[in-house]
Structure 1
Amino acid sequence: MKNKILYFLILSLFINCKKEKIKIEKQTKIEQIYAENNYGMFGKINLKIYSDSSYTCVRYETSPNYEKTEKFDGFFKIINDTINFFPSDFKPNYSTKAVIKNNFVEFVDGEFPLKIEIKRNKLKSKNSLKFDKIKDYAIFSFDEKYHSNIYYGYKPKSIKAYDLKQNDLEKLDNILKKCFAENNSKLKDINNYVKQCIVVINPEKKLKFG
């Protein structure tokens, strides 16, 4: 009888410890960032970054006669606004590093440029650009390796990536609005478009938007 009671106590203790462990794990795995790009008929990609230094990325690819879903899991270290992926890289584009900047997670050294818009953010990330009044912009960084055949009329290695400032963004928005107004018979309303921009600075220190 004593053995049965002892066995019951040990079993009860084990179950309670297991429940407590699950409870602790659930509490420590908190979503800190949710980012998503919706490419419409071509699919979408979303990224979840958690407080336990893990992430999950899901990529959906679609076409009229084709669908594909891929899920990637991994780990990272974050210092300030820089994310370092380890022990393996970020598989969707094989980046080892990303930067949280201007409401985007930007992967800086992958096989191709990738920038995912942040929808929810519990981290204290600094944003130098405000998109509350200037909407539907996706700002990409010029990548020398990936854009080596695109130099916007300049000689190779003569232009550099440039971080857009708020006044630059406002000037760009005004220029585009003027262009749309002048071509309103050919174009839809400007709000129907997502404006994707690659910003570079030329040897004369003048900005050029691609």
Structure 2
Amino acid sequence: MRIQIILSIIFSGLLIQCKESTKKSAQKKELLSATNNYNFVGDASFKFQYFSDSSYVFTIIDNDANHEKLEKFNDFCYSKNDTVYFSQTRFRYNGSDKAVIKNNFIEFIGGDFPLKIEITKNLLQTKNNLDFQNYNNYTFFIFEPKFHERYFHDKTKTLKPADLNQKELTELDQILRKCFSDNASKLEKFDKYINQCIIVINEKQEKEILINSYCKDSFHKNDYKYSLIDMSDGGNCNISLKINLTKHNYSDLNISGSA
């Protein structure tokens, strides 16, 4: 009889634990998921997931013919408006203290190196999105002085990060197209380029956009969205310029390899 009572107590305890575990599992919900897929040599991907219990999982998969690697980073964070904060621990992968959700990407800020991942699912109430339906050759990166000094040289301390609204995106496209039209004899057709942009407020409080335009790469069609391209040559497949939306003009056009 005593054995039956003990077994009954043990069984009841296990049943309660099972119910509690099931309850907790049911309450946890994926609120945001972002994934980058790369194919430099083999197949690689980054995936960030944020859950309703304030936990996150960051997964790296790296596979090639002679190598397979899987890494996972787990910790906690919290979201407010369009930003995910990593509190005291920072983001386990690159040391970022926060990540900004913007234009269907999550961009990790203040880390040891840049990281930007494309969002595939977002149940958070974020509003900072532009409509890129007619501007799918553009991608934007948040200005960070320590990573972008080579583009702005000694002026980084006087610059501040900025955003665009939809009207400004339209004007940016119009001015860039004018630049290509004005320099048609030197450049390829406009639609053959992708455009990487960094938006700042300059020392005169003007909204300025640095643009690096590169010829499209058929082998890495989406990689330009994730990180800034570093190309030292390339002729007219590597151009840069600045667009000033306050003055409504462009300047400092540079075609790689040109005098």
TM-score, structure 2 as length reference? 0.66
Residue of structure 1 in register with 2:172 after alignment: 172
Q: Residue 64 of structure 1: CA displacement?
A: 7.4
Q: Residue 68 of structure 1: CA displacement?
A: 3.9
In 2, Cα distance between the equivalents of 1:41 and 1:187? Answer: 27
Residue of structure 2 in register with 1:159 after alignment: 159
CA RMSD of aligned residues (A): 3.2
Give the match's secondary structure for 1:4.
Answer: helix
The runs of 5 or more residues in structure 2 that have no matched partner are 212-259
Deviations 1:62-91 (A, max 9, x none): 677665432211111223333221441112
In 1, Cα distance between the equivalents of 2:194 and 2:66? Answer: 26
Residues 27 and 114 (structure 1), Cα distance of their counterparts in 2 relative to 1, 3 Å cut: same
Residue of structure 1 in register with 2:39 after alignment: 40
Q: Residue 31 of structure 1: CA displacement?
A: 0.6
Give the match's secondary structure for 2:107.
Answer: strand
The runs of 5 or more residues in structure 1 that have no matched partner are none
Residue pairs, 1:49-128, within 5 angstroms: 49-61=50-62, 68-128=69-129
In 2, Cα distance between the equivalents of 1:71 and 1:187? Answer: 43
In 1, Cα distance between the equivalents of 2:202 and 2:14? Answer: 66
Quick one: percent identity of the two aligned structures?
37
TM-score, structure 1 as length reference? 0.80
Say yes or no: does 1:15 pair with 2:14.
yes
In 2, Cα distance between the equivalents of 1:24 and 1:126? Answer: 32
In 2, Cα distance between the equivalents of 1:133 and 1:64? Answer: 39
In 2, Cα distance between the equivalents of 1:65 and 1:177? Answer: 45
Deviations 1:30-77 (A, max 9, x none): 110001223332633110001111101112346776654322111112
Q: Residue 160 of structure 1: CA displacement?
A: 2.9
Q: Residue 106 of structure 1: CA displacement?
A: 2.0
Residues 67 and 13 (structure 1), Cα distance of their counterparts in 2 relative to 1, 3 Å cut: closer
Give the match's secondary structure for 2:150.
Answer: coil
